């Protein structure tokens, strides 16, 4: 129902979306008798003005003719009125009779007053097919408008227009020369013109005269496989040239907002209506007849099974549950794609010890929560370090221990004789630390006395884990380790050597009188220096020295990073051996003071221990070799084996060689402008090699929780996060960490809900970042998917090699075939094409000769056609 307030304006949508405004005059409050109120309500419908006076047509009144009205007045659309004849003259009497019969339901009720006051006998109704005035019909309310519509005036020809069929003669008027008047445009052109102010650079390219016209043979070459084969010329800001911006043209254009709307609702003319009804019910006889019918029984039997299945499905699961929406909610709860970032947790720096220094190595304490150690070096180049070698001896180069509880003051500081390049905690005893110096020294520390201080700095320390590790002898053969203590370590350096060190005291030998006197004169260590490795001081020598000799030249490779199959080799003895072998008991004293090198005869040789390793060099090569020593046939001395494989992939020093924590045969190498992923056993090259980056790569590290994720540090201070399950051609995300070069990356897992990533930069700042849920928690089948990807890449590499061999063989055969053809032509033999052409010429000559003979015998007339 529509209610009419005191003063209101309503708008309704027409079938084409246009808006028709009905202006209702303001009604005054009724005062007086009830009769006056009835008169006021009776005039309500007559006061509606629906004419088109607002658009300049007050004589036009749009109307809606329903199907019933069209039948009564014989003005049916497409029958009585069409697009060719869109009008109909209706008698005034018929319209008045319809209004009396149908009253307010009549479609002429809104124009009742206009119809009654119309002076003529016939009213003109026009079909509005295009809904120009908002309805399907409109009424012409004046006689003048009706006459102009039925009898439109003829168009009057304007003066000067030529009649049809006549041509107007064209008179040529030559242009008149006028003086040029300057309006300032030449100044604007002069300002906008570009004038060359710099002198052009000239290049002269010359060539030796004898090389003019010589053939050039082009071959394919992998630019990344050759050093200096790929040179990128990136844009940079030249401080010598400064371009000052004088003027900037900016153009803007204002356009109106466009809004498109559509609807499928069929528009009907609104009218007041009320309906009262009661429900229709079957009688008892009809109910019995319906329930006993065979059709109803057949229908119920046919749909019974489907209804039962549908009810069971509705009971088991919600059919209207949106799985995609729920999946998105789960991702948002635990971290979706937008949550794949590194959040700053804490940072450490020291203005005294880290000023003008860079962090060279970072290591988390294996057992104490929140303790992390960093080594620092002077921020100098190789030439500057040599020039200032004397001053560097007077400066302290410590290893600093930081704690989450105190980000300002270091908890412990280890003095070093030289800048420390790298260091590591002992796997079996975290209080033992080994480090390598810039000058080639190997240093050992024992921090057992300060363990309690580090634990008090941050509670939550776990117990020390004793790890059984294996040992090697001078031949590189692995033996069992019954002590359960790590006693050997491996180092590599650019001096072309890989050294194996043993921490145990050497075997006792018969000492000479000179050595006894020398031993008595040894100066005792200060009281604050532990004597754990006193037996190694000034007498420590490497157990094995392995060299990486080049096969093509007489030099050696210079390794910078090494990766063994295991960081420390575990072993598991059989049950029978466990009862026979008794582990050594050391008591409260440090075991390194009591350990001595045992006899190899009493130890079991471990045949299943792999002795291969990967090495990255200063020149960007990746070497795969074996540390087992072999005896030379001539002299009988022990020598190193030749490297099994050598690959030149990186165009700079290799900064990282690391095995995946999930797959021991997958290795990540980072160096120069790219990185590569290798699979041990695949000798044809890397299974994945990245394209050259815009910035140099400085460090890389695998994720400890996700098999397909690793982090790459760049020289511009950014971290590239790679997810092999998402993208393999570009990083999934790049995040800025610092304004200086990234020097080290070390992840650490505190718990299943907290993962940290330690990142150091060239300015000596250590950043502790918290890894998001997406980057730290793998999917249910991520490891299997990554393994499948690696296997697929290996197959692709094998297929590529097979195709290369096939192409090379095909190219060689093609060259031989070409050479064979040239030899045949040169030897007087004709080619196949020449032989076919000669046969065709001979056949044509034969036909001509045959035709002449038949014509001469009279068997063929000259006019006949010969087939």
In order, the DSSP letters of 240-270 are T------------------------PPP---
What confidence category does residue 500 fall into, taking pLDDT thresholds of 50, 70 and 90?
Answer: confident
Bigger pLDDT: 573 or 508? 508
Q: Using an 8 Å Cβ cutoff, are 99 and 109 in contact?
A: yes
* Residue 707 C-alpha from the chain's centroid: 17
pLDDT in tens, 419-460: 888 999 888 888 888 998 888 888 888 888 888 888 776 544
| pLDDT given at position 77 | 85
| pLDDT given at position 607 | 66
| pLDDT given at position 281 | 86
End-to-end alpha carbon distance in the chain = 98
| pLDDT given at position 670 | 92
For residue 576, give Cα distances in angstroms to 72, 210, 498, 585, 601: 112, 82, 37, 21, 19
pLDDT in tens, 366-387: 888 888 999 988 888 777 777 7
Q: Using an 8 Å Cβ cutoff, are 688 and 679 in contact?
A: no
738 pLDDT exceeds 50?
A: yes
* Residue 527 C-alpha from the chain's centroid: 58
| pLDDT given at position 700 | 92
Average pLDDT of the segment spanning 194-218: 83
| pLDDT given at position 572 | 41
- Cα Rg of the chain (Å, integer): 49
Paired strand residues for 746: 758
Tokens (6 digits) for 231: 């040179």
790: phi then psi, degrees, rounded to nearest 5: -65, -40
What confidence category does residue 488 fall into, taking pLDDT thresholds of 50, 70 and 90?
Answer: confident
Q: Is 770 exposed, middle or buried (0-12, 13-18, 19+ CB in 10 A)?
A: middle
**Spatial separation of the C-alpha atoms in residues 747 and 710, rounded to whole Å:** 10
What confidence category does residue 712 fall into, taking pLDDT thresholds of 50, 70 and 90?
Answer: very high
Tokens (6 digits) for 129: 């097919």
What confidence category does residue 335 fall into, taking pLDDT thresholds of 50, 70 and 90?
Answer: very low
Lowest mean pLDDT among 162-176, 420-434, 530-544, 846-860: 162-176
602 pLDDT exceeds 60?
A: no
Q: Using an 8 Å Cβ cutoff, are 511 and 559 in contact?
A: no
Bigger pLDDT: 463 or 204? 204
In order, the DSSP letters of 488-545 are EEEEEETTTEEEEEE-SBPPP-PPPHHHHHHHHTPPPPPTTS--TTGGGTTT---SEE
Q: Using an 8 Å Cβ cutoff, are 113 and 99 in contact?
A: no
pLDDT in tens, 66-78: 888 888 888 888 8
Lowest mean pLDDT among 191-205, 251-265, 687-701, 764-778: 251-265
Q: Using an 8 Å Cβ cutoff, are 677 and 650 in contact?
A: no
Alpha helices in 725-781 (DSSP H): 773-776
Q: In terms of pTM, does the model score above 0.95? A: no
Chain position carrying tokens 């995946």: 660
Average pLDDT of the segment spanning 814-832: 71
Paired strand residues for 787: none
Average pLDDT of the segment spanning 246-261: 81
| pLDDT given at position 779 | 84
Q: For 132, left (φ over 0), alpha (ψ -120 to 50), or beta? A: alpha
Bigger pLDDT: 673 or 48? 673
Q: Which H or E element spans position 390?
A: helix 389-392
Average pLDDT of the segment spanning 674-688: 89
What confidence category does residue 156 fall into, taking pLDDT thresholds of 50, 70 and 90?
Answer: low
Average pLDDT of the segment spanning 524-544: 73
The chain-wide mean pLDDT, for the chain, equals 77
What confidence category does residue 306 fall into, taking pLDDT thresholds of 50, 70 and 90?
Answer: very high
| pLDDT given at position 682 | 87
For residue 843, give Cα distances in angstroms to 6, 47, 837, 847, 855: 111, 107, 10, 6, 19
Lowest mean pLDDT among 157-161, 616-620, 781-785: 157-161
% of the chain residues with pLDDT over 70: 76
Lowest mean pLDDT among 175-189, 421-435, 487-501, 850-864: 850-864
| pLDDT given at position 524 | 64
What confidence category does residue 512 fall into, taking pLDDT thresholds of 50, 70 and 90?
Answer: low
331 pLDDT exceeds 50?
A: no
| pLDDT given at position 1 | 36
% of the chain residues with pLDDT over 90: 9
Average pLDDT of the segment spanning 637-648: 80
pLDDT in tens, 14-36: 333 333 333 323 333 333 433 44
Contacts 24+ apart (CB under 8 A), 735-742: 735/341, 735/342, 737/342, 737/761, 737/767, 737/769, 738/762, 738/763, 738/765, 738/767, 739/763, 741/698, 741/713, 741/714, 741/715, 741/716, 741/717, 742/698, 742/699, 742/713, 742/714, 742/715, 742/717, 742/718
| pLDDT given at position 862 | 55
| pLDDT given at position 27 | 34
Bigger pLDDT: 469 or 191? 191
In order, the DSSP letters of 293-321 are -HHHHHHHHHHHHHHHHHHHHHHHS-TT-
pLDDT in tens, 555-597: 788 888 888 876 544 444 333 333 334 445 455 556 666 566 6
Chain position carrying tokens 């032509």: 825
What confidence category does residue 542 fall into, taking pLDDT thresholds of 50, 70 and 90?
Answer: confident
DSSP SS3 for 768: strand
**Spatial separation of the C-alpha atoms in residues 774 and 705, rounded to whole Å:** 11
| pLDDT given at position 203 | 86
Strand order in the sheet with 645-648: 559-564, 612-617, 621-626, 645-648
pLDDT in tens, 278-301: 788 888 998 888 889 999 999 999
């Amino acid at each position: 129902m529509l209610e009419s307030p005191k003063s209101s304006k309503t708008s309704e949508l027409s079938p084409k979306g246009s808006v028709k405004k009905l202006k209702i005059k303001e009604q005054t409050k009724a005062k007086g008798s009830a009769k006056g109120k009835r008169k006021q309500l009776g005039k309500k419908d007559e006061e509606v003005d629906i004419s088109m006076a607002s658009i300049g047509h007050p004589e036009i009144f749009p109307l809606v003719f329903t199907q019933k009205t069209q039948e009564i007045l014989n003005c049916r659309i497409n029958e009585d009125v069409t697009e060719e004849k869109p009008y109909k003259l209706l008698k005034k009497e018929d319209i008045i009779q319809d209004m009396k019969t149908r009253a307010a339901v009549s479609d002429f009720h809104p124009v009742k007053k206009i119809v009654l006051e119309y002076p003529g006998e016939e009213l003109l109704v026009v079909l509005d097919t295009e809904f120009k005035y908002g309805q399907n019909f409109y009424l012409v309310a004046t006689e003048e408008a009706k006459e102009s519509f039925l009898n439109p005036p003829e168009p009057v020809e304007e003066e000067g227009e030529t009649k049809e069929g006549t041509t107007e003669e064209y008179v040529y008027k030559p242009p008149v020369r006028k003086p040029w008047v300057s309006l300032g445009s030449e100044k604007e052109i002069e300002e906008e013109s570009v004038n060359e102010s710099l002198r052009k650079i000239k290049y002269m390219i010359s060539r030796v005269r004898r090389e003019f016209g010589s053939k050039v043979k082009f071959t394919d070459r992998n630019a990344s496989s050759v050093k200096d084969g790929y040179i990128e010329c990136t844009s940079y800001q030249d401080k010598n040239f400064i371009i000052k911006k004088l003027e900037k043209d900016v153009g803007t254009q204002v356009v109106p907002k466009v809004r498109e709307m559509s609807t499928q609702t069929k528009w009907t003319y609104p009218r007041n209506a009320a309906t009262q009804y009661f429900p229709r019910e079957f009688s008892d006889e009809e109910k019995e007849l319906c329930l006993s019918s065979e059709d109803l029984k057949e229908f119920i039997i046919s749909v019974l099974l489907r209804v039962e299945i549908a009810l069971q499905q509705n009971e088991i699961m919600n059919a209207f549950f949106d799985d995609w929406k729920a999946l998105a909610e789960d991702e948002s709860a635990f971290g979706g794609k937008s949550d794949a970032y590194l959040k700053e947790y804490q940072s450490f720096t020291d203005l005294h010890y880290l000023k003008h220094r860079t962090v060279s190595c970072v290591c988390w304490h294996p057992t104490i929560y929140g303790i992390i150690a960093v080594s620092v070096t002077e921020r100098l180049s190789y030439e500057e370090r040599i020039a200032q070698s004397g001053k560097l001896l007077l400066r302290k180069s410590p290893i600093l221990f930081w704690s989450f509880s105190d980000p300002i003051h270091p908890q412990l500081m280890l003095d070093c004789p030289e800048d420390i390049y790298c260091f590591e905690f002992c796997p079996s005893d975290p209080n033992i630390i080994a480090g390598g110096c810039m000058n080639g020294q190997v240093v050992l520390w024992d921090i057992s006395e300060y363990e309690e201080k580090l634990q008090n700095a941050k509670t939550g320390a776990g117990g020390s884990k004793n790890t059984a590790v294996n040992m090697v002898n001078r031949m590189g053969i692995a033996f069992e380790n019954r002590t359960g203590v790590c006693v050997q370590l491996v180092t590599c350096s650019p001096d072309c050597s890989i050294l194996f060190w043993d921490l145990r005291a050497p075997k006792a030998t018969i000492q000479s009188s000179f050595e006894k006197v020398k031993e008595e004169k040894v100066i005792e260590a200060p009281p604050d220096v532990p004597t754990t490795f006193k037996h190694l001081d000034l007498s420590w020598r490497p157990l094995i020295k392995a060299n990486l000799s080049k096969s093509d030249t007489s030099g050696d490779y210079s390794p910078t990073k090494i990766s063994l199959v295991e960081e420390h080799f575990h072993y598991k003895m059989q049950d029978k051996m466990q009862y026979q072998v008794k582990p050594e008991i050391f008591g409260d004293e440090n075991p390194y003071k009591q350990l001595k090198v045992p006899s190899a005869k009493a130890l079991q040789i471990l045949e299943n221990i792999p002795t291969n390793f990967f090495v990255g060099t200063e020149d960007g090569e990746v070497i795969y070799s074996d540390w087992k020593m072999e005896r030379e046939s001539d002299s009988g001395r022990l020598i190193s084996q030749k490297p099994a494989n050598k690959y030149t992939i990186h165009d700079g020093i290799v900064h990282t060689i690391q095995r995946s924590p999930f797959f021991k045969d997958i290795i990540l190498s980072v160096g120069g402008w790219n990185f590569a992923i290798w699979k041990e056993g695949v000798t044809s090259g890397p299974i994945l090699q990245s394209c050259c980056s815009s910035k140099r790569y400085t460090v890389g590290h695998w994720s400890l929780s996700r098999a397909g994720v690793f982090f790459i540090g760049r020289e511009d201070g950014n971290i590239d996060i790679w997810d092999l399950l998402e993208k393999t051609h570009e990083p999934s995300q790049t995040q800025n960490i610092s304004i200086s070069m990234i020097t080290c990356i070390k992840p650490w897992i505190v718990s299943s809900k907290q993962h940290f990533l330690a990142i150091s930069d060239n300015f000596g700042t250590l950043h502790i970042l918290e890894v998001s849920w997406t980057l730290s928690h793998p999917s249910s089948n991520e490891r299997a998917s990554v393994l499948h990807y690696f296997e697929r890449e290996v197959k692709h590499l094998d297929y590529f090699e097979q195709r290369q061999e096939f192409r090379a063989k095909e190219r060689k055969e093609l060259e031989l075939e070409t050479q064979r053809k040239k030899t045949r032509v040169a030897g007087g033999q004709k080619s196949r094409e020449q032989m076919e052409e000669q046969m065709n010429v001979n056949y044509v000559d034969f036909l001509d000769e045959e035709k002449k003979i038949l014509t001469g015998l009279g068997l063929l007339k000259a006019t006949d056609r010969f087939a």
